[in-house]
């Protein structure tokens, strides 16, 4: 299952570049300004790249804890992968609409996609770490630093992305900035641990 | 062989999102209604995502039983992969034509693709579990619950998808609904077993 | 190296479907004839799918014999992968031009791509099985049935594809038919062996 | 982590072909000249294919030395993958603008992308081979021929690509030629070693 999930993350992160469009030939030397005017595409690309990258790292870290895969885990993992495969669409939406009427809705759809993914991770983690299933599905102890760190990160993720969704109603740019900041923040080394795997 | 098949499933499921088109910039704030009008794209995307996801789960479960791969298994597995790679095309067809003249034909092509895949799985499973090849190719006993459950699911799959094909002649929406319902139904945990793998 | 190669084959075979275009909405019920008129796309898709599938099977079979990978093997394998990644382009060319002026050139480019791949396989196999490198790189004996069968297939492949190239100058349809026939022929079980792997 | 990286490289190298466009049907027999006029696309495709191929080979060779993965390695590796996923965009830019006004800027963006990747490799390698982290992260001895060869190649890579960036300000064609030559040069067998892996 991890190979399949890795494949989906790797493809989703690589497909993002297809949303970056080459400005059509204009016959004069204005390529520079026309490339510069596409800045929302670059911001959206980088934010989505960083977010999917972090998602993959979290997925990878979670699966080092998993001992056995049952049907429910396959299905809840499917929700996470659904979120990951969707990302190129809201990314293209933000790339096209940032700076134009409709940008707030585009930023809302974008942030809501990440909120959905954060919630899907929570469902996956709660499923695997429930009292009843933990002994069968998870490796190690519920008080282990890794499990505690993952649980904390998973608990706060949805809150942060919900903030981005609310912000997007007022300001598209701030919402995207929050999403990018979240990805960079999650890319920091985990506190209090070597973070080896 | 399983790595190659996993790769094809992972790519086919991730390419589906490329069929979701960003509405062209209109210069006014009508992005919301224009996104809403694309609902057939979302339905087709979700149905295809769920169906390829289930196909992968079945493929994965089948290959836990397979001990050895011969030439015939490579070729019959190729038929299943052919079906999986085709899915983005009928998905785009349904996304474009649902609610327009031609929608019934689009739904027929869509349902027929899934019927083809269900038949290909049957050919693959019958090939591997035939009297003559079973001892060489399969692990375990023909009366094992897993083998019995897979055989039952494989027997009924084509019948259900044939019903969707027939329905599509009358009503495109009902045919798509049946396809979605089938994917959700197959995502339920297998009866009478923990379904661990 | 095999994981990377498998990935490239899996992606190239799955990208083929992106060349199948959905006919634009016409507002009337003529979807059927417009889908039918796209038959060259379907033929080109199936031929390329079968050919890449066979290429992957051959690659897989060859790599069961390989014991060690050196720099030259990486580079000659890169030629094979170059051929595989190119396939979607001539496939789209044939899909667009079959039945139109320029179809012969399209079929020549298509057949020449497969000829290139067949030659690349020969270079790869000759490199690995040369007197000097065989003991280090290959597993098993040069007189083993598997090695003999692979060598025979590799020797004849370029000849057949060269015939298709020559045919394409006269008749695009015959050249495509020969390419499809070759893929189906290579999909037959290898003579005189169980073909297990 | 290597499986995920291999996947990203394999997808980025295979997506390059999507930038090769089939000339639109013109109804006359001018396909040949129109295909020939697309030569910048073929040059850009081949250069990018060779460069990503070499990047993957280097990545693969580097990871045979890595014993353990920590958080910093995941993040610096992410920079390399970011570079690899971007490649199809500047490739398409060069394909569209070579021979037209704006070609120098296109070649600058193209060369700068490869400079970025070369720098990212340096950051990754320096991180893993720093005094403090080496014993934990790397296998083997800092004076081993493989490590010395990698370090030399990594040291000179950015210099060469910086030359290509500077050249691109004067001549787009020379800059692309330097990039292609670098890829072919790095494809030569490593001096003084069998280069086995």
Question: What is the secondary structure of chain A as a DSSP string?
Answer: -HHHHHHHHHHHHHHGGGGSPPPPP-SSS-HHHHHHTTHHHHHHHHHHHHHHHHHHHHHHHHHTTB----HHHHHHHHHHHHHHHHTHHHHHHHHHHTTSTTHHHHHHHHHHHHHHHHHHHHHHHHHHHSTTTHHHHB-S-TTSHHHHHHHHHHHHHHHHHHHHHHHHHH-HHHHHHHHHHHHHHHHSPPTTS----
The three-state secondary structure class of D139 is coil
Per-residue pLDDT averaged across B64-68, rounded?
81
Tokens 């495709």 sit at which residue?
D45
Q: Does B60 touch chain A (CB under 8 A)?
A: yes
CB contact under 8 A, A88 and B197: no
Q: Does C10 touch chain B (CB under 8 A)?
A: yes
A186 Rama sector, left if φ>0, alpha if ψ -120 to 50, beta otherwise: alpha
CB contact under 8 A, B101 and C17: no
Instruction: Please name the residue of chain C whose CA is at the shortest distance from the CA of residue D53.
Output: C78
CB contact under 8 A, D68 and A196: yes
* Shortest Cα distance, chain A CAs vs residue B169, angstroms: 30
Instruction: Please name the residue of chain A whose CA is at the shortest distance from the CA of residue D88.
Output: A17
pLDDT in tens, B112-122: 999 999 999 99
Instruction: Please name the residue of chain D whose CA is at the shortest distance from the CA of residue C19.
Output: D18
| pLDDT recorded at residue A191 | 56
| B143: phi then psi, degrees, rounded to nearest 5 | -95, 5
Lowest model confidence (mean pLDDT) among B38-47, C1-10, C98-107, D144-153? D144-153
| pLDDT recorded at residue C192 | 45
Lowest model confidence (mean pLDDT) among C56-60, C81-85, C146-150, D179-183? C146-150
| pLDDT recorded at residue D152 | 75
Q: Does D189 touch chain C (CB under 8 A)?
A: yes
Bridge partners of residue C138, in order along the sequence: C66
How far, in Å, are A52, A91, A108, B24, C62 from residue A104 at the CA level?
22, 13, 6, 16, 55
CB contact under 8 A, C70 and D10: no
* pLDDT bracket for residue C120 (50, 70, 90): very high
Q: Which residues of A62-100 are buried (b: 16+ CB within 10 A; e: fewer)?
A: bbebbeebbbbbbbbbbbbbbbbbbbbbbbbbbbbbbeb
The vertex-D29 CA angle with D25 and D31, nearest 5°, equals 60
CA dist D80 and D118 (Å) reads 8
pLDDT in tens, C133-155: 777 767 766 667 767 777 777 77
Instruction: Confirm whether B181 is domain-assigned.
Output: yes
Instruction: Confirm whether D36 is domain-assigned.
Output: yes
Residue C56 with chain B: CB contacts under 8 Å: 4
Per-residue pLDDT averaged across D76-87, rounded?
95
Q: Does B36 touch chain C (CB under 8 A)?
A: no
Task: Check: CB of residue C180 under 8 Å from CB of residue C50.
Answer: yes
Q: In which domain, by residue range, is D75 found?
A: 2-16+30-187
CB contact under 8 A, B88 and C17: yes
- Mean pLDDT, chain B, whole residue set: 87
Report the percent of chain D where pLDDT is more than 70: 92
Distance from the Cα of residue C129 to its chain's centroid: 22
* Shortest Cα distance, chain D CAs vs residue C192, angstroms: 34
Instruction: Confirm whether B31 is domain-assigned.
Output: no
Instruction: Confirm whether D193 is domain-assigned.
Output: no
Q: Does C189 touch chain B (CB under 8 A)?
A: yes
CB contact under 8 A, C3 and B8: no
CA dist B59 and B73 (Å) reads 13
Q: Which parts of chain A have pLDDT scores under 50?
A: 192-197
| pLDDT recorded at residue B83 | 96
C197 pLDDT exceeds 50?
Answer: no
D43 pLDDT exceeds 90?
Answer: yes
Instruction: Please name the residue of chain D whose CA is at the shortest distance from the CA of residue C108.
Output: D32
Among C residues 106-135, those touching chain D with beta carbons less than 8 Å apart: 106, 109
D136 pLDDT exceeds 80?
Answer: no
| pLDDT recorded at residue B67 | 79
Instruction: Confirm whether D24 is domain-assigned.
Output: no
B130 Rama sector, left if φ>0, alpha if ψ -120 to 50, beta otherwise: beta
B31 pLDDT exceeds 60?
Answer: yes
Residue D189 with chain C: CB contacts under 8 Å: 71-72
Which of C99, C96, C108 has the alpha carbon at shortest distance from C168? C108
* pLDDT bracket for residue C130 (50, 70, 90): confident
Distance from the Cα of residue B13 to its chain's centroid: 10
Lowest model confidence (mean pLDDT) among A61-75, B156-170, D43-57? A61-75
How far, in Å, are C45, C170, C197 from residue C13 at the CA level?
9, 28, 22
Task: List, as one string, the DSSP characters of D58-90.
Answer: HHHHHHHHB----HHHHHHHHHHHHHHHHTHHH
| A138: phi then psi, degrees, rounded to nearest 5 | -105, 150
Most confident option among B17-26, B128-137, B148-157: B17-26
- A141 versus D174: the higher-pLDDT residue is D174
* Dihedral angle sign, alpha carbons of residues D45, A38, B11, B165: negative
Which of C137, C126, C121, C127 has the alpha carbon at shortest distance from C79? C121
Q: Which two tokens stand for residue A132?
A: 């009843």
The three-state secondary structure class of D138 is strand
CB pairs under 8 A between A and D: 83
Residue C105 with chain D: CB contacts under 8 Å: 31-32, 35
CB contact under 8 A, B11 and C16: no
Q: Which two tokens stand for residue C11?
A: 């992606």
- B136 versus D99: the higher-pLDDT residue is D99
Which of A87, C123, A6, C32 has the alpha carbon at shortest distance from D2? A6
**How many helices (H) and strands (E) in chain B?**
9, 0
Residue from D1, D4, D13 to probe the interface with C (highest C Cβ count within 10 Å): D13
Per-residue pLDDT averaged across C159-168, rounded?
95
Residue from B8, B22, B59, B145 to probe the interface with A (highest A Cβ count within 10 Å): B22
**How many helices (H) and strands (E) in chain C?**
9, 0
Reported residue count of chain D is 197
Task: List, as one string, the DSSP characters of C133-151.
Answer: THHHHB-S-TTSHHHHHHH
| pLDDT recorded at residue C68 | 81
Q: Does D138 touch chain C (CB under 8 A)?
A: no
Q: Does B22 touch chain A (CB under 8 A)?
A: yes
Interface partners of A (3+ CB pairs, < 8 Å)?
B, D
CB atoms within 10 A of CB D39: 12
How far, in Å, are C80, C127, D61, D193 from residue C73 at the CA level?
11, 7, 14, 15
Instruction: Please name the residue of chain D whose CA is at the shortest distance from the CA of residue C96.
Output: D25
Residue from B97, B102, B133 to probe the interface with C (highest C Cβ count within 10 Å): B102
Q: Which two tokens stand for residue C128?
A: 């690995």
Residue A17 with chain D: CB contacts under 8 Å: 12, 15, 85-89
Number of domain units in chain B: 1
| pLDDT recorded at residue A143 | 67
CB contact under 8 A, C189 and B85: no
Residue A51 with chain D: CB contacts under 8 Å: none
């Amino acid at each position: 299952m991890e190979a399949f999930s890795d494949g989906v993350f790797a493809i989703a992160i690589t497909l993002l570049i297809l949303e970056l469009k080459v400005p059509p030939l204009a016959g004069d030397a204005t390529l520079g300004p026309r490339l510069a005017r596409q800045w929302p595409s670059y911001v959206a690309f980088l934010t989505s790249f960083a977010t999917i990258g972090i998602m993959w790292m979290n997925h990878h870290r979670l699966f080092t804890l998993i001992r056995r895969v049952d049907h429910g885990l396959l299905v809840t993992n499917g929700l996470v992968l659904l979120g990951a495969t969707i990302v190129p669409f809201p990314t293209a939406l933000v790339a096209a609409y940032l700076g134009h009427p409709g940008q707030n809705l585009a930023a809302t759809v974008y942030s809501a996609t990440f909120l959905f993914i954060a919630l899907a991770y929570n469902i996956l983690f709660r499923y695997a770490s429930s009292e009843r299933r933990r002994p069968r599905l998870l490796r190690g102890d519920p008080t282990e630093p890794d499990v505690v760190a993952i649980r904390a990160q998973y608990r706060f993720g949805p809150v942060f992305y919900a903030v981005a969704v609310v912000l997007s109603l007022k300001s598209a740019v701030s919402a995207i900035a929050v999403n990018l900041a979240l990805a960079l923040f999650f890319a920091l080394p985990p506190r209090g641990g070597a973070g080896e795997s």
